[in-house]
Structure 1
Amino acid sequence: MKTVKAGLHADRPVTEKRLDEAVDRGGVRRRSSLQAVSVAFQKPCLVIHFEDDSGVLLPVNLYREFDDFEPEDFTGLNIGFAGTALCHDGKDLQVSIAGMISASQPLMAMAASVIASRNGRQSSTAKAEAARANGRKGGRPRKVDPVP
Structure 2
Amino acid sequence: MKTIKAKTLVDQPVTEAALDEAIERGQLRQQNGLQAIAVTHGASRLTVSFEDGSGVLLPVKLYAEFDDFCAEDFAALTVGFSGTALCHEGKDLQVSIAGMISASKPLMAMAASVAASRNGRQSSAAKSAAARANGKKGGRPRKVDAVL
Question: Same-fold call, TM > 0.5?
Answer: yes
TM-score range, shorter chain: 0.7 to 0.9
SS of the equivalent of 1:39 reads strand
- The root-mean-square deviation of aligned C-alpha atoms, in Å, is 2.3
TM-score w.r.t. the length of structure 1 is 0.85
Secondary structure at the aligned position of 1:79 is classed as strand
Please show how residues 67-82 of structure 1 align to structure 2 within 5 Å: 67-82=67-82
Distance 1:120 1:147, change over 3 A: closer
Answer yes or no: is the 8 Å Cα contact 2:134–2:140 preserved in 1.
no
Output the CA distance in 2 between the equivalents of 1:43 and 1:6. Answer: 48
SS at match of 2:83: coil
SS for the counterpart of 2:33 is coil
Distance 2:59 2:146 in 1: 61
- Percent identity (aligned): 63
- 2:86 aligns to what SS in structure 1? strand
Secondary structure of 1:13's aligned partner: coil
| Structure 1 segments (4+ residues) deviating >3 Å | 4-8, 132-135, 144-148
**Paired amino acid for 2:9:** H
Unaligned ranges ≥5, structure 1: none
The equivalent residue for 1:143 is 142
Equivalent position of 1:31 in the other structure:
31
What TM-score do the two structures reach when normalised by structure 2?
Answer: 0.85
Q: Structure 1 pair 5/64, CA: closer, same or farther in 2 (3 Å)? A: farther
Number of residues of Structure 1 aligned to a counterpart in Structure 2: 144
Partner of 2:41: 41
Output the CA distance in 2 between the equivalents of 1:51 and 1:146.
54
Q: Distance in 2 between matches of 1:107 and 1:46?
A: 15
The AA in structure 1 aligned to 2:70 is E
Q: Secondary structure at the match of 1:48?
A: strand
Query: Mind listing any 5+ residue stretches in structure 2 that lack a counterpart?
Result: none
Q: Which aligned pairs between 1:59-70 and structure 2 lie closer than 5 A?
A: 59-70=59-70
What is the one-letter code of the residue matched to 1:108?
M
In structure 2, give the amino acid aligned to 1:16. Answer: E
CA contact (8 A) 2:79 2:85 kept: yes
Shift of 1:89: 1.0
Following TM superposition, by how much is the alpha carbon of 1:119 offset from its aligned partner in structure 2, in angstroms? 1.1
